[in-house]
Amino acid sequence: MTDFNAKNNLENCLDPLKDGISGATLIRISGSDIDIVNAARVSYGKFTKEISEKDVKLIRFLIEHHHDTPFEHNQLSFRIKAPIFVVRQWMRHRMNSYNEISYRYVESALEFYIPQEWRFQDKINKQASAGSFHDEDLKKKYKESLENSGKTYQELLEQGVCREIARAVLPLCTYTEFIYTCNLRSLMHFLRLRLDKGAQKEIQLFAQSLLQLSAPHFPIALSEWQKTYTKEMSFDFDKFTPAFTKALE
């Protein structure tokens, strides 16, 4: 098992929303491609210490035929900083472990997500967006609303209102933090859904970051996974091909 310190391993800490506030940090990982192989081959009483070309083909077979349990014998933990509306989508993925900062215990830092551009409502997919545009007047109104919410929150606290009630005035774009722990099977399921072109753009960006952080540690499994599902994704997997290739050398 390897532990990662975000302060000393900046390559394991990304800013998915590129606003200087969001964060995705790989803090701990256990297991590797070889554990996937050994989990699969235990059915025949087999065990190996080195990955062979035959093992690569085995991992490919497992992915293509949805034999998923060998991908469960590992663990990845991330520290995530994201807007509340992203996190509430994220936690719909229930087969994981989560622990989140509580604004009952601590005051909010009043950090808010401000979109760099606006998106139109998709006319076909009722839950999705399409295209983009800029409108500074709308951004000004958006920021004013955030300032009013933050000011009211502070006034409530100053007047003695408890944190668990005062937090109710905070908007859904308020940043929160949580620890997210999963296995590779669960992560790949998350990626399939959240890299899809119908997923909200913000959670797509976090999914891209998780893939980038995880790829060097499971290069064969994630490489074979991306070959199988690339056609279904809006994500440019070629961007991270060097990471897969280097890890395989």
Would you please indicate which residues are annotated as catalytic (active-site) residues?
194
Hey, what are 73's tokens?
């014998």
CA 223/CA 244 separation, integer angstroms: 6
User: Which residues share a beta bridge with 13?
Assistant: 25
Question: In the 8-state DSSP scheme, what is residue 18?
Answer: S
Q: Are strands 13-14 and 118-121 parallel, antiparallel or unpaired?
A: unpaired
The answer to whether 188 and 233 have CB atoms below 8 angstroms apart is: no
The answer to whether 196 and 234 have CB atoms below 8 angstroms apart is: yes
The answer to whether 201 and 125 have CB atoms below 8 angstroms apart is: no
Half-sphere exposure of 84 (CA within 13 A, CB side): 14
**Which SS3 state, helix, strand or coil, does residue 238 take?**
helix
The answer to whether 47 and 36 have CB atoms below 8 angstroms apart is: no
